[in-house]
Each structure stands twice: as structure tokens, then as C-alpha cells.
Chains A and B, each alone.
Chain A
Amino acid sequence: MLHSPIQTDAVIIGAGPVGLFQVFELGLLEIKAHVIDSLPEIGGQCIELYPDKPIYDIPAIPVCTGRELTNNLLKQIEPFGAQFHLGQEVTQLEPQPDGRFLISTSRDEHFLTKTVFIAAGVGAFQPRTLNLEGMEAFDDKQVFYHVKNPEQFVNKKIVICGGGDAALDWALYFADKASSLTLIHRRDEFKASPKSISKMRELCASNQIQLMIGQITGYDLTQDRISQVSVTGIDGMTQSISVDDLLIFFGLSPKLGPIADWDLEIERKQIVVDTEKFQTSVPGIYAVGDINIYPGKKKLILSGFHEAALAAFAAAQYLNPEKPIQLQYTTTSPKLHKVLGVTPPTFE
């Protein structure tokens, strides 16, 4: 049975820079939007892949980081009160007999919307999994990709996999709380803060962390539970270690996922749009940013911003076919000042 769906004019799939600017462009046209993203945080690739790396090609901003760009966009869209639905992936998009679209998410939220803006970049970010046959049956039982309740791992034999900050932070946290802690990484080089790395090395020297360089290549069951994992080192030697719980931090990777099943015209796994409306092969569904393709497409944030503006105007016309949609300027339009919640300037 469906929870009663949220009814809205617009749903934006993806809370990256282009999805956020889509909120702005729709907002100026007084269309309110709901935004869905698979990540728990707003910002998309800018936050997940390059939060602290500089971006040099945003017009009028000589340099900013991914995080700064995201924060500035959030400030810019504040007046429009978009609602965010984070940590959930869109699983279904189905046209309804009345012309609207029913969107369902992995958290069982539902939306009935008149228009859809797919700003999903290179897809939904998901944890990279430990790919061993049958292991998925132990997800959230003995194999964890997030730590929700640290208490449950106290006094357990823990294996932590990964070489980034998440793996090291939890290894340091559990070093004196677990009954044994093994850290496994593919090579003896870590992509984490230097402070965490040196602390981890200290704990290895004092035998509170066993560091193994290699990969998990198999596991043994005892009474339907994982009791041991086999770790194959770079020298090709395999060792077995006894384990209660495995914490896997291989980072996140984007996957295009179900977008291919939405009956939209696709070319090389990207959504085909026109360059007037940035509309897909289904009227009312638009695609903006890295996910779309058209002749001359360049995957630039600034191109996505332009696409979002034109898609917003097209959607406004689609929602109100009778009403002429006029272009107004934020500098001079009293109507837009009202929408933005700013005080109109007085001209002398």
C-alpha cells in the first residue's frame, strides 16, 4: 500500500550544483520543488568527490571549492524553501493516466508531480561493496557499510577494510574497544589525514591494530555465520583470520542505475534532450547537467546552469500552457524582488 504521495509541481532528482540551481530558476518562476538525492548530504559530486578542490570556471567566481560552490548555491536558493529528501535513491518513475508522474524512492517516499528534472549527474552514489559470492546475505548482520550503532561492535573481533578517512577513523575509534581489530587495505598507502595515518601506525606498532596489506578473497561459515575471512596478500599468500563483524569502507561510487529503465530516449547511457527546452523524449520530464546529451554537449557546471534556466521556462509554459511566460530581470522586477524576499531599490 502506498503512503499518500507528496503532490507537487516539480521534483528534481539530484542535489548537485545543477539540481540546486534548478531550484533557483524554478523558484523565480514561482514553481516550488522537492529535491531527492541518494547521498545524505547536499552537493553531489562537488561534495562527494572534490569538496576541497578548486573550481576555476564558474562565471564571475575566479576560484571556489566544491564545498563553497554548494554553500553559495544553498544560500542563493534559500528564499524558495525547496524540500530535500536525502539518503534515498529514486527507484521508479511512472507516467500516470492524468499526465503526472509517480516517483518512488528507496525509502518508500512517493511523489506525484507534474514535472520532473533529472539532474542526476553520473548517477546515484552508492557504497562500493565487498564482492564475494553469497556475502550480500550478511549485509547489516555481519557486514556493514555504515556504522549506525558503535556499541554493537564493542568487544567483538572486527575487520575493517579500506584506506580512506572513514576506515581509519573507525579503526582508531575501535582500537581499544574491540577484542581484536584487523585493518585490511589493498596497499600500504592510505588516502586519509596524515594525523590519522600516523596514529594508526602507532597503534599497529603497539599491536592494538593488526594491519594486513591485501584483499579479502573468501570466507568460512560456522553455523550460518561468517567465522573467518581469507586475506590474500600482495605476495599471493593467503591467511585466515577469525572475525565477528566486518566494516567495509571502500567509498562511494556513482551508478547510473534505474535511469535506463524509465523509457526515456538514451544515447551512450545519457539522456537525449533538445536544446530549446532540455526536455527528454517524454514531455514534462527534463534532463539537465552531466546526465544529458545533445549535439555539442560539454559536461561543465556552467552549461548545466544554462540548461536549468531554459528547462525552468519550458516547464513553466508546460504547467501553464495558456499563460505567456515573460522573462524578467532580478535587478529591476518588483515581482522577482518579492519572490526573492528582497527590498526593491529606490531609483532617484
Chain B
Amino acid sequence: MTYVVTESCIRCKYTDCVDVCPVDCFREGPNFLVIDPDECIDCAVCVPECPVNAIYAEDDVPGDQQAFIKLNADLSPSWTSITKSKAALPDADEWKDVKDKLDQLVK
């Protein structure tokens, strides 16, 4: 199993999660983070850190977010590792409550 970053993270990227990851398994893209499923050890420590509740256990990913399981796996090999939190994207607060923003994802 693994944990999965879902849609809420897009255009927000608060990055609180990366500080607590004991195995540094977050990868960073231009406006989204993913978890490398080959590195995640299922400890769940990151889940409560996310201010927009973007992280789910693979088995708990909501029905309309299932595509993110594959997206996390597909994007993590080419994205770079992020191990320290940094400032959220400048307009994160405007995007945090927006639903259906998969079309905003920059790969």
C-alpha cells in the first residue's frame, strides 16, 4: 500500500507534509506534490499535517480521486525530491477550496 496526494493539493502546495515524512518520499512538481509509492512506508504521519486534507491511504482514496493513485506513481520518478517545507504557492489560499482543478495540474 501507499499514501496518495489528491486534487486538493493542486495550485496550493502547502508542503507541511514533507517535513514529517520519515523516509523523504515526497516529490515536487510545479504546482503539486506526489508521494513516491515505492518509498512510502504507510506510516500516515503526513495525513493530519495537510491543511487541505489532500492525503489519503490508497485504500481510502475517494471514488472521484482514484486517478491520483496512478498520477502519484507516474509523476514521482521524474519529479525531484522535496524534504523541507517551503512557502505555499502565492495564491494557494484562493485555490484551496476549489474543486475539480485537475485541469490546472502542471506536469
Contact = CB atoms under 8 A, between A and B. Distances in A.
A70 interface: no
Interface in A242-299: 250-251, 253-256, 268-270, 290, 299
B20 A234 contact: no
B100 to A, nearest CB: 25
Contact of B88 (A234, A255, A290): A234
Nearest to B24: A255
A234 B90 contact: yes
A299 B38 CA distance: 17
Nearest to B40: A268
B58 to A, nearest CB: 14
Interface in B1-33: 14, 19-23
B88 A251 contact: no
A122 B22 contact: yes
Interface of B is mostly: loop
A223 B45 CA distance: 42
B107 interface: no
Interface of A is mostly: loop
A107 B85 CA distance: 29
B86 interface: yes
Contacts of A250: 19
A324 interface: no
Contacts of B20: 253-254
Interface of A: 45, 49-50, 121-123, 128, 131, 186-187, 189, 214-215, 232, 234-236, 250-251, 253-256, 268-270, 290, 299
7 tightest CB-CB pairs across the interface, nearest first?
Answer: A122-B22, A254-B22, A122-B43, A123-B22, A253-B20, A131-B84, A269-B23
15 contacts: A49-B45, A121-B43, A122-B22, A122-B43, A186-B85, A186-B87, A186-B88, A187-B88, A215-B87, A234-B88, A234-B90, A250-B19, A269-B23, A269-B39, A299-B43
Given A268-B38, A299-B44, 6 more contacts: A122-B45, A189-B51, A214-B87, A253-B21, A254-B22, A269-B41
